[in-house]
Structure formats: structure tokens, C-alpha cells
Amino acid sequence: MGNESRSISSCMSKKSKSKPQSKKKFSILKLVGIGLIAVIAAGAYYVYQSFIPVNVDHPIFLIPENILIKTGKTTDGHYAFAMQSSRGGKQVPRPGGMTSPTLNVSQGNLVSVHVINEILNTDAEKSIHNFNIDEFNVHSKDLGYFESQSITFLANKPGEFIYHCNLHPEMKGILSVK
């Protein structure tokens, strides 16, 4: 009998030791589940926020009109903006060099402006530019060489508006909303 009681007590002690491990597994699984839910919620919040243009406070579920803008220099050495083809690849330079083109968009459209700084730094000057349309709250960060930024806004008022670089007053053009 002495051996039986020892084996029963050893089985009981084994069972009591296994319970905390199952609780530990359950709490680890619970933590992983909570973490997964938090990641999904954060991702959903990010996606929701990405539908809110910079000049309105609610999401707009439209496909944006894309405008690709790059920085460059005119033939006389002044800074300017230029439109870039959305088809990609190299473009053949047009006669007259770079100019700040008039950007035409339709009123009520969602517009996504993609800006890239393509002016190489020199020893005399770092190439830093930005892109702004004050009336639509469009303000890029200062972009160094080959940096880019996309800004989406709703073209919700008609008229002609100036887009510009705060750092270089000669870099400006017209946004026409009709």
C-alpha cells in the first residue's frame, strides 16, 4: 500500500504541475490574440485615415486624379516645376525647357499630387524644395534630392490658384479648377 499511495501522490503532483502550464499557454494565446486584434484595428484605422484628404475632415471614397510633378531647372538656370508623364520612363525634353505648367482639374474631383525633387545637390547649394497650394491646405515637407511625397486633396472650389515652393519664389504655377 505504501507504494500505491506514493504513486497516487506522484500522479496528483504531476497533475497539479501541469495545470499552471495550461494556464500559461492559455494566457500566451490570449495575448497573441489581443495583439493580433490590435494590429488589425490599427491597420483599419490607417486605411480609414488614408481616405481623408488634407482639406476636408471626412473620408472621400473616389479614385483620385493623379498629377506627377518634378522639380528642375529652366534653360536660364532658374528653378521650376514640370509635369511628368504617368506612363513612366524617360521623357524627351520639350523645346523651351522646364516651365511651371498650368494644372487643370475638374471641380469635385479628388486630386493626388505626387511631387519628386530631381535637382542634384551641388557643393554650393543643397537641393531642397517643397510644394504648396495654400487654398487647399496642400503643403509638402521639404524634399531633398530624389525625395518624394504624395498629397491628396478635394478640388472643392472653382477658380485659379497658385502653387509654389516656399523656398524658391520663382517656382510657381497655376492650378485651374473648373
Q: Which residues of 129-164 are buried (b: 16+ CB within 10 A; e: fewer)?
A: bbbbbeebebebeebeeebebebbbbbeeeeebebb
Rg, the chain, Cα only: 30
| Per-residue model confidence (pLDDT) at position 135 | 96
Question: 43-89: per-residue pLDDT in tens?
Answer: 998 888 888 999 998 998 899 999 999 998 888 888 899 887 655 54
Is pLDDT at 95 greater than 50 in this prediction? no
- pLDDT-derived band at 151, boundaries 50, 70, 90: very high
The string of DSSP letters for 138-163 reads EEPPPB-TT-EEEEEEE--S-EEEEE
